[in-house]
Structure 1
């Protein structure tokens, strides 16, 4: 059994490759290296440089590596960019997925794990978001992830492909400094970047209906997320694997932005007060996962807390920036 991991040299993809290979799974990574770093991949994991949108390349990779399952992480994922370039996001994230699923069906591959996002929910007004919470994405990125889920499930029904869709909440941390996130798009590296440039961290909105006025989010350690992919792959290799499963990947614990910024200050030793700026459009006051179905359907629960996320991310940040 060999798993192809698209986007396998990326921040999340390399963690997934490491977790799966470390558990004895045979894996091969496919990455166009637009954001991926080959050195992140563990020894013995082959890297094919190219795009998951290239059907001829997919056919060759499937045949040469005898691929029997796919973990699809490759995607465009920046919200602001999706608002500015919606047609490109649909072409890359949905059109590219259609190309991949066609190749999967043609090759007779019957196992597929899809990287989705809590962005499919939009801004629900609930204490805990379950998989039955209505989906109402508020940006093109979230729309492409929801459309991707529909497409994965439809292709699964049409071609007998067993599927799992994983709806990630807020990913942070690193399992090893060399696997650190090189982007500055999520809150933890954004605060690190501000502090490194001797600037105060920013909080967007402090007048939300929450205990301290700032947004509350569910943060998941990337190492735990990688283990969730391994659990999904193992579920799909079970003798009775069939149908589809869609699950939230979070801890079920809410942390406010102000609490997170305070914790970052404790870890880094830079405790300067944050600047409070205007709200950003589309930010929900609260977005916390119910993780019950992941525990029941995948046998998976998160093990790492937020302090571990921040401390590991800071170690990786320092390595990346020569500190």
Structure 2
């Protein structure tokens, strides 16, 4: 029996594929390579190139590989850009999730781990985000993830328990668990800073007048290997028929400021720089940090990496890619 990873050629998906293999669960990958890279898929792992908007392809993949569960990671993950591309975002995240659910029902696949997002909470006004906090997404991306959770919930109700599922919500995923795989997003803080440093340019902080100890906004940064491990435990619990919550936050509990990240970047890379200070980005809250208590209880969730280790693993993977 195998687990299908949609988006398994992407940064997060490729780490989940490796974690599945390490746990003795056979993965198969489907990815359209719109943002993923076939080179991220380990040798020997079956790879199907194609879009999950193709229902026949998804169903055929499920049947051909005797899939027992799906880890649904594929999606359009750019919250800021989703404001300019709402229709594309809904197609990639909502319609695609509906199609995956439809194909799963047709192929009698009963287990689903959904890669959701803490963006479903919007801009919370509490120090720590918990799973029961009201959902007020502030972008089409966040809305699409919340709708995805609703679709899964409603399908499970319609199938009277024949679909077992959980959704994992997280914020800023960083670092690398394999020197072959690194974050290639043009919108995430770590790759933006890495590219600036590699080009001999100075990274920038967007605003230093927030209501935080050092004036820069505080976010949840979690290591990609920890994220991958939690997906695997969730899959194992579903397959074993063990109880799971409908959703879990994979949060850091404490958070890190952008200036703390910049200090770690300089410290770990050995490149001494003083970040430029730019204006605030509209709508950026002072602090968003989630608790991970439920996930710690059920999914062996913990933060195993310091900020320096997060930076070091990401930097080493990005530099290794430059040498290829």
Shorter-chain TM-score above 0.5: yes
Distance 1:110 1:244, change over 3 A: farther
- 1:304-315 → structure 2 map (5 Å cutoff): 304-315=305-316
- Rounded to whole Å, the distance in 1 between the matches of 2:251 and 2:130 is 11
Find the counterpart in structure 2 of residue 117 from structure 1: 117
Distance 2:78 2:176 in 1: 20
Normalised TM-score (structure 1): 0.96
Shift of 1:321: 2.2
* 8 Å contact kept, 2:172–2:221: yes
1:298-309 maps to which residues of 2 (within 5 A)?
298-309=299-310
Counterpart of 1:99 in structure 2 is: 99
Provide Cα deviations, 1:86-112, integer angstroms capped at 9, x if missing partner. 011111110111111111112111100
The match for 1:4 is: 4
Equivalent residue runs for 1:63-102 within 5 Å:
63-102=63-102
Q: SS of the residue aligned with 1:281?
A: coil
- Structure 1 residue 244 displacement after superposition: 4.9
| C-alpha separation in 2, matches of 1:156 and 1:43 | 35
Q: Which residue in the other structure is 1:53 paired with? A: 53
How far apart are the structure 1 equivalents of 2:79 and 2:171? 14
Tell me how far apart the structure 2 counterparts of residues 25 and 208 of structure 1 sit (CA, whole Å).
Answer: 45
* Distance of 1:195 and 1:3 partners within structure 2: 38
Match of 2:128 in 1: 128
Query: 1:182, CA displacement in angstroms?
Result: 2.1
Quick check: 1:271 aligned with 2:265? Answer: no
The root-mean-square deviation of aligned C-alpha atoms, in Å, is 1.4
Structure 1 residue runs of 5 or longer lacking an equivalent are: none
Tell me which residue corresponds to 2:254. 253
Deviations 1:115-148 (A, max 9, x none): 0111111111111111111111111111111111
Per the normalisation by structure 2, the TM-score is 0.96
- What is the SS of the residue equivalent to 2:116? strand
Q: Distance in 2 between matches of 1:45 and 1:157?
A: 33
Report the Cα offset of residue 172 of structure 1: 0.3
Q: 1:189 aligns with which of 191, 198, 217?
A: 191
1:213-269 C-alpha deviation (Å, 9 max, x unpaired) = 11001111000000010011011012345x752001122121110111111011111
Q: Which runs of 5+ in 2 are unaligned?
A: none
Alignment CA distance shift 1:121-1:305 (3 Å): same
- Hey, what does 2:182 align to over in structure 1? 180
Q: Which residue of 1 aligns with 2:241?
A: 239
SS in 1 for 2:4: strand
Q: CA deviation at 1:301?
A: 1.9
What are the superposed Cα offsets for residues 156-175 of structure 1, whole Å, 9 maximum, x if unpaired? Answer: 22122111100012100001
Counterpart of 1:281?
A: 282
